[in-house]
Amino acid sequence: MPKIKVTDNKGLVQETGTGVDIESKFKKSVSYDVTDLTANTTLSRGGVYTFTATATITGTLPAASTVPGSLWVFRTVTHDQSHCLTGSGLDEAPGAIGGDGKLFCMNPTGVSGTMHAGATDAQANPKTSGGELKLSASAGCAVSLMCDGFQYHALSASGTLTFVDTAAN
């Protein structure tokens, strides 16, 4: 039986001998299609989403317990409206450290308010959370979220994000 060898330079090579040698690094990459949100939408999986409508759009994310580990990117393409993200329900574990019962959070202290990506001392350590997350009405406003199975955590942002308390959370 011939020996099979996999290398970065030659790819799959058949040699004299037996067995399989892998001399290559395994790579895993993930790519997402960009989905335009042009109307109120209930989302079901992580991905890259853009807001392109001139009317305010609400994107409803699924219950966090159904999408742990998922990554979400939202970007405002038009500058006409402030778009909103909300959730299907609060899945935070009782007594969890993180968002004090909020679906979206920026860091563990859970104080409502506005987080600006960038620059001043007051903005350097934002302490924000809420049941809704609003993106400012400016082209290029964006947020990257990661779901831990209980909440959606804002990892990075550009523009102004406003975390809003809701009746549900």
Q: What confidence tens digit (pLDDT) does each residue in 72-97 have?
A: 999 998 777 888 888 876 554 444 44
Least confidently predicted of 6-10, 61-65, 118-122:
118-122
Same domain, 63 and 17: no
Asked if 126 and 101 sit in the same domain, the reply is yes
Are 20 and 45 in a shared domain? no
Residue 40 lies in a domain: yes
* Assigned token pair, 106: 């920026």
Least confident of 42-56, 82-96, 107-121: 107-121
Same domain (yes/no): 119, 54: yes
> What is the pTM (predicted TM-score) of this model?
0.67
Are residues 7 and 46 located together in one domain of the fold? no
Residues 20 and 40 in one domain: no
Q: Determine, yes or no, domain membership for 169.
A: no
pLDDT beyond 80 at 129: no
pLDDT (0 to 100) of residue 89:
60
**Same domain for 76 and 20?**
no
What is the share, in percent, of the chain residues with pLDDT greater than 70? 72
Mean pLDDT of the chain: 76
Judge if 61 and 141 occupy the same domain: yes
Torsion sign, CA atoms 119, 34, 44, 81 = positive
Residue 74 lies in a domain: yes
Percent with pLDDT over 90 in the chain: 19
In a domain, 75, yes or no: yes
Report how far apart, in Å, the C-alpha atoms of 72 and of each of 54, 95, 132 are.
Answer: 22, 25, 15
Name beta bridge partners: 84.
58, 134
Asked whether residue 18 falls in the same domain as residue 53, the answer is: no
Question: For residues 143 and 110, which has the higher predicted lDDT (pLDDT)?
Answer: 143
Question: In which domain, by residue range, is 149 found?
Answer: 31-164
